[in-house]
Structure 1
Amino acid sequence: MENFEIYSSELKQRLSENTKVVGREEKVTRYDESSAPNPLMTVFPRSENDVVEAVKYCREKGLKCFGQSGGHNWRIRNHKSIDAIICMRTLNNISIDETTQTVTLGGGTIIGELVEAVTAKKLEVATGVCNTVGVLGTLLHGGTGRYTGKYGLGIDNLLSINLVDATGELYQNVNGTTDPELWWAICGAGSSFGIVTQATIKAYPQSNDGLSWNCTMIFINPGVSKIERILEAIEKTQMEENMSLLCSFACLPPTGLPSLIVTPWYYGPETKAEKAWERLLDPSLKPAVKKAAMLPANKLNEGNDPFCRMGGRKPSLGMGIERLDPAAFLEAKTLSIPDDATVFPHSHRGIAYEVVCFPIYKDETLDIKAQAFAQSVRDIWVQKCGNPQKPRCYGACAGFDEPLENIFGDREKVEKLMKIKKKRDPENYWGALLDIS
């Protein structure tokens, strides 16, 4: 088995007692299997020291390792070269300090676990929109979610981290004071500098007893006039800090017809929510599916659960766009498939819309066509809804070949990031997520 027994036996001697190391037959299912690694072994650490020893062992043996928490990163660069997965899910401890209103969490904590823990203390945190996504996986790329308008991005609420670098050294309590250079790079490109084993973030008291209004509307194969009316309603809606909107274009089963999925959210009572979103809630728009409810804080992301299930093939691509051009959505519909404090760009903070294309299928022979489809939709959005001279792409939604300037904003920022990368990881060992060499 390609030395798995030897590697496993040797590595276990350096790890905590009963630490699990498994072979390919027990690898962890990822969100998108089209670019998933096929590792020789997967390690489930029980402590930060286990992560240190696993990285050191892989380096000694010439193995390429990769840390994962939720397993949702859509496009893993160099996924075919990864020999070992360090699955952080076993490090999902959460500690809440109600006095300082801070939360310290393990590197394997997923969003659903964090939301449940803080809700129990009548607190809330800036986090992503899918319960099964790793907290740090989304946070280290910026961290957008329901509370972004109210509390800012996830990186704005990050206080400190512990990180294992490419040599296996553990850095503790890294923050803007202890290591300003590394901190700048981590806040937006953290996965390219090591495995984050622990983080401390800000928490806030709940508003409206944690209750928020959630709505999902699906428009299946909408016509020209329908798309125009939906997009006009969105653009004419005045956004407030208690509002957020997810808008996705996808070919949904069982029909496979192009669909527009719109999910407005409001942090407040239903009457205010319906007033705030009255243009989009116009009954004459007639969505094929409409589901609205007042949900407690621990059910914040419940409406997104169907899109966050693991497995299958989903080579998705997203883009930050400045306007909603009906022509762009109609063209996509005709396609088919058988700030300087951080590296995160200031320009992306003011983006009007984040849109994502989800080709969802199971047949691996469709990979090339599906990826071409997603790329085609992305290119349409760039040309007709954004700034073709300066595209803006959220890092977690980037494709394999997305120019770094599109993710981090400008060449000067990219060059600074590359210098830090070459200093901290000269061999580009952590190149699986983001190649900066």
Structure 2
Amino acid sequence: MTRVFAHPDQAAFSSAKYEIPVLLFGRVQVGGPPNAVGNQVRRQLARLDLPIEQSAYDFLAIALAVAAADRFALRSAADDGFGRNIEVTVGLADPARWTPVAKKLERALGFLSGDQWHFNFVAGGDTVPSHKERSRLKNKVDLEGADEVCLFSGGMDSLIGAIDRIADGHRPLLVSRSTRGDGGYQTYLHGMLPEVPSLRINDDIRGELQGEPSTRTRSIVFLALAACAASAISRLHNDSIVPLIIPENGFISLNPPLTVRRIGALSTRTVHPHFISSLQAIFDEVGIPAAIENPYFFKTKGEALRECRDQPLVTKLISKTTSCGKWKRYWQQCGRCVPCLIRRSAFHAAGIADETATSKHVGYRFDDLNDALRTDRDRADIRAVSAAIRRVNGGDFGKWVIRGGPLPLDPTARNEHKDVARRGVFEIDQFLKDLGIDA
């Protein structure tokens, strides 16, 4: 078992037992813990012009600790080379509120990352930014009129989601987990939208340990930041529950394994309906005033794009979004990974010209997918998608979708989830066929 101790007070580390120390809401300093996360998070959240609920802020502390543990605990050191056994002790301002839901949180994160998680919550955590602390900061985020929070990553679905929410008369606060490279796209796209507030924060994980590349819990901080923002907006509406919108197409949300060896191992399950319902139950129990919604659970990416409420605006901006998980390697989207294939299929299905341009590069690294078919490494994802297409056409469909995670018991919802997965596969199939690609 790998023991992680995450706390905002440097003095707390002297008596704790751990292999991996992580300073919360701080930075690495000489003589202090060699790992830290969230250095600017508190200051950035203090820019909100309304106070945050402590329950949401403690959830953010947990999320930061989890993200750091996920980055510092190597899967290669696990007995099976993948599933880790991680104990995380987190300093919270109100640990008594969170201790009763520890087991639920462990199960939810186990589903998310494929690891065994164990939580201990101890006292001494940060309290929410005070009125005095908030009042002395400049560049405030004006929440006047805001009625919901919408995650805004700079990807296709998040842009469609923001455009649709605004077109429907909402005033969302767009919340972004802003990392190197992504921040520029988020800033540009936000500036092209009708005026709505935004909040962009980098969790800033720093440390001496080698980084674990899989980071399947990476979006938990994104959700925690949004929960904090929702709790602030709740003050505007008599402490009522605030919608927390996660725009993600139904096919990606389900994350079905494209081959037997890919049981969701290469991507996160953050938007899977099972994880969303598990996290919502935790929010309800600890009193976080946010209701998680995904308006595209039953739409493919192409359908969401084609049915966007403001076609002139989405057509103008959609090519400026990013989908590729490895685009920062070359500062160009590859065009042949699974997210890129789904992206390109969506343009094709919606009948919108794909004018993708990333950084200094126009188009995809593999504009012609035949070039990607020439090497085993480059054609792996195309062949995995082709295997999924054959599985759908062969009729072994329902079992395949459920391998990505449990579906709701309600038969109507189950069938709708299965059907959107089927349509998502067919979208890619049609795109490849029309290109004449035989993988």
* Structure 1 or 2: more strand by fraction: 1
**TM-score, length basis structure 2:** 0.27
**TM-score, length basis structure 1:** 0.27
* Structure 1 or 2: more helix by fraction: 2
